[in-house]
Structure 1
């Protein structure tokens, strides 16, 4: 994660055709999207401002209708300059849009990569919903699309992500990894979680910072659909929960979700833990979680100079 020394604003672009799901992705990450909701088409560009580790950041959600796409390409200096992170969203269910989406991506990328050498590119194969996730045809579509995107992105690293609003965790990871994944603390926290989770039969752990991006995670697919159903139910309810103590626990659909909120080095964080109720094992203890929190605090102190 790098700052723009001139403006001190990190610009994140969410680009794709109309109805690709861009606005739903942004709303899901910000916990303002509700399953079944049909957001109104984005007009031109919608901007959302927030902070990541104290740095001003702005998400540009580009409307995907043809008239708006033409305006971006006609005036690229106005619309496509200073982009640090480019997320291109393609609807994996809409096969008729693939050629148009690839052409649009190529046109946008041609301008941006010439003016932003440090550009980070991510392709989101969106609407890969749970009911079709294992469909061989869907997997083949993604394989072919990766090859076609790769032909455009010659000599540039790219992250490919398979996402769905019905699995909010895929969205959280797909946005967080390109922005924070290169930070050493991300890997350190993920390893810490993996060791703890394996020892305590925990299916999922993650740490979010400023209630927005993920700074480390562990996820096991012991009973993927059961966990998916439970996590989505919990994710929808999370914004309505009153957190008035350090550690709170809630049971959802066969899982116990444990929430721990805290603050270290001026950053608010939330630790989420999911443990299956069906296992004949003890739940994670407060003592064990406090040990995890202590190690997280130590990592924040150690890596704080790299985060600011």
Structure 2
């Protein structure tokens, strides 16, 4: 008799062009370069199933364009039934939109707290690519990320939520480095 795996529902959220769908492709172990090159912005919501050794995952990939974000927030309750985790993705190379990315994350957290939905929150500080610091524009990216993202994210997430913050890149078939954690995810 085989033991049934538990089903996990994960919302994959963030601004447009933050890399959510690329992360999903990496998680699905799709290493075909053409898959990445042919990616187009996610329009609306796309649900993918992923089978792992421990879980059956339903990953809800939310398009990050402004018109979709507004609708998700207005109708957030529609997406949170049986929710286990939120993965929020921020493009570390898009420094000009850090405040907008943090505002959207704060809105999501506010709605979770309002509806008393306690789930694990994972933040991917994404596109932390190899050799990034060799580009003069990003030579101080670690300091900028800590000051403008890590510290602010840590402060905005209420104490009752477990969270993890990772530096991520798809260049090493989805490498992630834990940089901050609270709770036992």
Alpha-carbon distance in 1 for matches of 2:17, 2:125: 13
Structure 1: any 5+ residue segments left out of the alignment? 1-7, 175-180, 183-308
SS at match of 1:64: coil
Structure with a larger share of its residues in helix: 1
- SS for the counterpart of 1:115 is coil
Q: 1:34 to 1:154 in 2, by over 3 A?
A: same
Q: Conserved in 1, the CA contact under 8 Å of 2:123 and 2:166?
A: yes
TM-score by length of 2: 0.80
Q: Secondary structure at the match of 2:132?
A: coil
SS in 1 for 2:50: strand
Long gaps (5+) in structure 2: 1-5, 179-183
Q: Confirm whether residue 153 of structure 1 aligns to residue 164 of structure 2.
A: no
Partner in structure 1 of residue 122 of structure 2? 122
Mapped to 2, the partners of 1:22 and 1:159 lie a distance apart of 17
- Rounded Cα–Cα distance in structure 2 between residues aligned with 1:81 and 1:105: 19
* Alpha-carbon RMSD: 2.5
TM-score normalised over the length of structure 1: 0.50
* Maintained 8 Å contact 1:20/1:90: yes
The partner residue of 2:141 within 138, 143, 146 is: 138
Partners of 2:130 and 2:54 lie apart in 1 by 35
Between the two proteins, the alignment pairs up a number of residues equal to 169
Shift of 1:169: 4.3
Residues 72, 80 of structure 1: 8 Å contact kept: no
Give the distance between the partners of 1:46 and 1:84, measured in 2 at CA.
Answer: 17
Greater CA drift, 138-147 or 52-61? 52-61
Name the SS for the 1:99 alignment partner: helix
Checking the alignment, whether the CA contact within 8 Å between 1:84 and 1:116 is kept in structure 2 is no
Moved over 6 A (4+): none
Distance 1:123 1:40 in 2: 23
CA distance in 2: counterparts of 1:43 and 1:125, whole angstroms: 22
**In the alignment, what sits opposite 1:82?**
82
Distance apart, 1:20 and its partner CA? 0.1
